Amino acid sequence: MDDQITLRVFKEEDLPFLDRICIDQDAIGPFEWAGFQDVRARRRRWEADGYVGADSSALAVALPDGTVIGIASWEAKDRGGPAGGCYEIGMALLPEHRGRGFGTAGQRLLVRHLFAYTFARRLEAQTDAENIAEQKVLERIGFRREGLLRDVRFRHGVWRDMVIYGLLRDELPASPGTGSDRAPNPVDGLSGTG
């Protein structure tokens, strides 16, 4: 499945996708929708750095024909160690592409990219306590459930519990068929970031 999608930098022709996730509450799903957002803010960010920055980045999850089906992101977290030692990752897919393995493949590619091309020692992810599908994906790619954060995210008019997951660099499963955790850069048009 990993070869059926790519992670790549956003292009100008992808801006309608970025607009959609700001204005369509069904686009990224009930666990991610935080309300309407200013679409100009996403466009300004794309114009400023193409969504690839030192502290946070976002990439397009794309099919081989270039169709954008989702967004993968990471953000530096200060956990008391050196800068760039910890990133929180996230992924959201359009509804018509969920449940087909693209989320698992995309997050696996993102994890491998971050461990291969940044100094990250730790990756973490948070997901709604009721988002069982995402919890299964995180566990499938090697993350460990570390705890429950009570009432930390406000969604749909209520405070929500979140589950936090972590993955350390030495816990990364070997690439299939290679016996190594060092894989070629799985992200098109991006290397050495972070």
pLDDT in tens, 8-27: 999 999 999 988 888 887 77
Decide: 8 and 188 in contact? Cβ < 8 Å. yes
Predicted local distance difference test score (pLDDT) of residue 181: 45
Q: State how far the Cα of 22 lies from the Cα of 87, in Å rounded to an integer.
A: 23
Stronger pLDDT, 28 or 182, i.e. the higher one: 28
Distance of CA 107 to the CA centre of its chain: 6
Mean pLDDT rounded to a whole number for the chain: 86
In the block, which residue shows the tokens 């070629």? 184
* pTM, to two decimals: 0.84
Q: State how far the Cα of 51 lies from the Cα of 153, in Å rounded to an integer.
A: 24
Long-range contacts from 34-40, C-beta under 8 angstroms, 24+ separation: 34/154, 34/155
Confidence of residue 79 (pLDDT cuts 50, 70, 90): confident
Q: Regarding the domain with residue range 2-184, which homologous superfamily does it belong to in the CATH classification?
A: Gcn5-related N-acetyltransferase (GNAT) (3.40.630.30)
